[in-house]
Amino acid sequence: MVGLRRYPAPVEVAAQGERLAADLGRWLTEVTFVDLDTDEVTARVIDSVVRWAEAQGWRVYRRAPSVLPLPPPLQQRHSVLDVACARPDGPPVVVEVDHTDRARTVQKLRAEADAGRIPIWVRWGVGRFTVPPPPVRMVTVEVTRRAGPAGRGRLHSRLGDRPAPAHSTGGGTVTPQALPIPSTDPASGRAEDAGKGT
């Protein structure tokens, strides 16, 4: 029929999901920060996801409506997605970014997958990430944390894997210099007093 959009077969969509999650994971390795609170880290990661999607040439939407309604008594309204991407050559990609292991996020992303979208869950934290069931793909961003000043809660940092500084390869030259040796002659002062101030 004319006008119907045909997406790839489920097996091909699953392979695309794996490839896109791996690509996003590589992109997020460049994200670094020091002493951000939970909301600031989430916003930083979302911004990086948006830049990744824009670099692919996709149309990107923040806080896009999800197909999943909110729980009662708000079931007339829908949840929102952190990032939704419209692609000209394949099904849309949706991304959620979370600090905690939220069952609601998995439910939302599985509903998006049932609607024909590729779901990616970006989890950030100190580790111990629980892998979600397929077809949701997980990308992880590991951070360190410490107690912050009063009123700020925990602060998170991610310095990344920076290469060691390059060492010089050329052989340098050193010119030896003669250093004065203190005299032990009583007439000129005791050796242990040499170099001391008054």
Residue 12: helix, strand or coil by DSSP?
helix
- Spatial neighbors of 123 by CB under 8 A, at least 6 apart, are 98, 99, 101, 129, 138, 139, 140, 141
pLDDT of res. 84 = 98
Tens of pLDDT, residue by residue over 55-100, are: 999 999 999 999 998 777 767 777 899 999 999 989 999 999 999 9
Q: Cα dihedral sign for 75, 77, 83, 88?
A: positive
State the Cα–Cα distance between residues 93 and 112, nearest whole angstrom: 9
State the Cα–Cα distance between residues 71 and 64, nearest whole angstrom: 18
Which residue ranges make up each domain of the chain?
10-158
Helix (H), strand (E) at residue 20? helix 10-28
Q: How confident is the model at residue 10 (pLDDT cuts 50, 70, 90)?
A: low
State the Cα–Cα distance between residues 7 and 79, nearest whole angstrom: 25
pLDDT of res. 151 = 75
Q: How confident is the model at residue 194 (pLDDT cuts 50, 70, 90)?
A: very low
Q: Give CATH for domain 10-158.
A: 3.40.1350
pTM: 0.74
Cα–Cα separations (whole angstroms), residue 27 to 19, 49, 51, 88, 145? 12, 8, 9, 21, 22
Q: What is the mean pLDDT of the chain?
A: 83
